[in-house]
Structure 1
Amino acid sequence: MMLCNESRKEAAGLTPFLTPRKTIRLATWNIRTMYEAGRTAQVAKEMKHYNTCLLGLSETRWLQTGQLRLTTGETLFTKKSKIKLNIIQCYAPTNDTDDEKKDAFYQQLPAVLDKAGKKYMAILMGDFNAKIGADNTGYNEVMGTQGLGYINENGERFADLCSLNQLVIGGSIFPHKRIHKATWRSPDHVTENQIDHICISKKFRRAWKDVKVMRGTDISSDHHLLMTAVRLHLKKFKNTTNMRTRYNVSVLKTKEVRTAFHLSLSNRFQPLQDQIENNDTNIETQWKLEARKEKKVVLNTSRTRAAKAKAQEDYTATDKEVKKNIRKDKRDHINNLAKQAEEAAGQGNLR
């Protein structure tokens, strides 16, 4: 069942409601029967109240297939073969049912999942009559530890199905209070179990926001509405195009171009070569640096307090002279560069 404003043809086509920009709500509900006056209107009312985009119904007791458009704007689908949605609504046999019927169900369901394809997101939901429990030993890739009670036979079949088809059981992932996990209650309101489930493809697990029971719904059913919030996450595409500049080296075959290129390189790297050949510090400064190094050795090897004081005084005086010479060399170097720039500007060489 869907809330939509499309025409019948649009509703039967691919539904574009799953987008990365908004979170949608999907739900499953065992309503026991649709053969009751006003039942469809009650379902539609609860959908609007909880802002549900798509609701899967179990045990409708309808034998027909097709779709029904309600006056309130909702569309009921009772067969999904014409809808290109990877959403599968199920009703599984109870735990006391004969093994033959259980085997037939769990043999048919994988074929339906394979038909839906594994490239896109698949959501499997419905009343599976399966208790999965809180112990996920052996199923840690498809189950969490937030389930209720202990796993039963149907639960093992259901967990094996999810493990083989890479489906994650949502009710076992998100931590909630017990009242927001139990999907079924006994007629005497004493026993509660978690037997309705919503599963999603393992590769799209990050799209899940929450899976929670909504106890406020009322349709005279012993099952609660189980709802999930889904938002599609797309991986950002990074442009890995190589933006390296390509040069036309074929023009270097021409002698004139090759000579001009060599001359240009020589002019560009000549200042660097001059700087390497002519060190920034002159000979006097280098001599003072060596003298300061010797003073440091004398300071470190002095034994007496008086000798250390004398060595420290000599080292401090030498250090001052070194720093003074370095500042002078720096000024001279800057003045030299400025003079070269002025001479180059006077000759019209602005490079």
Structure 2
Amino acid sequence: MQGGHTLYTIGGDVPQRGVGFLVHRKVKDKIIKFEGLNDRVASLTMKVNNQYQMQIVQVYAPTTTHSDEEVEEFYEDITSVMERNKSFYKIIMGDFNAKVGRHEQGDGKTTGEQGLGERNERGERLVQFATSKNLKITNTYFEKKSSRKWTWRSPNGETKNQIDFIMTNKKDINHIILNTEVIQRLNTGSDHRLVRSTIRTNHRLERSKM
């Protein structure tokens, strides 16, 4: 690519589907493996430091027009990709087409206190999945104004939801995720806004704290 960056993609035959990674030239030499499972789930493994690797899974979940069976297959695919990779750090991110909403009793540490709106059925399924995999939904942990939380806007601009999430497998997310936020100023031409996490890669961190 122009600028020396690298693009990994899979899917795209159907205009509404396809996932991928755009890797900056400064870190492209750290890439170990790209695995595209299908047009909804892809995985990138990279070297974090001399001790650890990180697996990043990019996803695009079925929308509300798709059946519950398709949703279950989607989560099974994520599980398959995660279980085949033994990286110490794991980041699962993308468009989950699910509203997690505010923290609810029973969520434990899967969600924080900074979610947006009310949870729907697909949001409940996402929380169940995250809990079963010991994942933390990082968007819900960092205090932001409501205008910095929503990730999707309806065509008429009246409805704004938080449906794109970044999750990590570490018990204390602050030892790997320093911040998760929406990028407001970048116009991608999409009805979604970009979500960004700042990741700590200090190799001196004690493993027991991860």
TM-score of the alignment, normalized to the shorter chain, above 0.5: yes
Is 1:114 the counterpart of 2:83? The answer is yes
Counterpart selection for 2:166 from 187, 191, 198: 198
Q: TM-score, normalised by structure 1?
A: 0.46
Compute the displacement of 1:193 (Å): 0.1
Is 1:105 the counterpart of 2:43? The answer is no
The question of whether the paired residues in 1 share the 8 Å contact of 2:154 and 2:160 is answered with: yes
Bigger fraction of residues in helix: 1
The 2-side partners of 1:125 and 1:192 are apart by 19
The 2-side partners of 1:105 and 1:190 are apart by 29
SS of match in other structure, 1:81: strand
Counterpart selection for 1:178 from 141, 146, 157: 146
Deviation per CA, 1:308-340: give whole Å up to 9, x if none. Answer: xxxxxxxxxxxxxxxxxxxxxxxxxxxxxxxxx
Question: Residue in 1 aligned with 2:178?
Answer: 209
The 2-side partners of 1:34 and 1:188 are apart by 27
Question: Residue in 1 aligned with 2:194?
Answer: 225
The 1-side partners of 2:126 and 2:80 are apart by 15
Counterpart selection for 2:97 from 129, 139, 143: 129
Compute the displacement of 1:74 (Å): 10
The percentage of counterpart residues that share the same residue type is 32
Question: Residue in 2 aligned with 1:157?
Answer: 125
The 2-side partners of 1:169 and 1:100 are apart by 23
Compute the displacement of 1:224 (Å): 0.3
Compute the displacement of 1:232 (Å): 2.5
The 2-side partners of 1:34 and 1:226 are apart by 25
Runs of 4+ displaced beyond 4 Å: 33-36, 59-62, 67-70, 72-75
The 1-side partners of 2:206 and 2:195 are apart by 32
The question of whether the paired residues in 2 share the 8 Å contact of 1:106 and 1:157 is answered with: no
Q: 1:163 to 1:61 in 2, by over 3 A?
A: closer
The question of whether the paired residues in 2 share the 8 Å contact of 1:182 and 1:213 is answered with: yes
SS of match in other structure, 1:110: helix
Unaligned regions of 5+ residues in structure 1, if any? 13-32, 37-58, 238-351
Q: TM-score, normalised by structure 2?
A: 0.74
Compute the displacement of 1:166 (Å): 0.9
Counterpart selection for 2:155 from 184, 187, 192: 187
SS of match in other structure, 1:202: coil
The 2-side partners of 1:146 and 1:167 are apart by 16
Matches for 1:24-173 after TM superposition, within 5 Å: 59=16, 61=18, 80-81=34-35, 83-85=44-46, 86-117=55-86, 120-173=88-141
Q: What letter matches 2:34 in structure 1? A: K
Q: 1:166 to 1:69 in 2, by over 3 A?
A: closer
The question of whether the paired residues in 1 share the 8 Å contact of 2:18 and 2:60 is answered with: no
Bigger fraction of residues in strand: 2
The 2-side partners of 1:203 and 1:137 are apart by 18
The question of whether the paired residues in 2 share the 8 Å contact of 1:134 and 1:149 is answered with: yes
The question of whether the paired residues in 2 share the 8 Å contact of 1:91 and 1:127 is answered with: yes
- TM-align CA RMSD: 3.7
Unaligned regions of 5+ residues in structure 2, if any? 37-43, 47-54
Q: 1:202 to 1:99 in 2, by over 3 A?
A: same
Q: 1:216 to 1:106 in 2, by over 3 A?
A: same
The 2-side partners of 1:200 and 1:210 are apart by 12
Deviation per CA, 1:242-268: give whole Å up to 9, x if none. Answer: xxxxxxxxxxxxxxxxxxxxxxxxxxx
Q: What letter matches 2:131 in structure 1? A: S
Q: What letter matches 1:102 in structure 2? A: V
Deviation per CA, 1:184-235: give whole Å up to 9, x if none. Answer: 0011111100000000112461211110001111121100010010112433
The 1-side partners of 2:68 and 2:106 are apart by 23
Q: 1:177 to 1:93 in 2, by over 3 A?
A: same
Question: Residue in 1 aligned with 2:39?
Answer: none
Q: 1:217 to 1:108 in 2, by over 3 A?
A: same
Q: 1:208 to 1:93 in 2, by over 3 A?
A: same
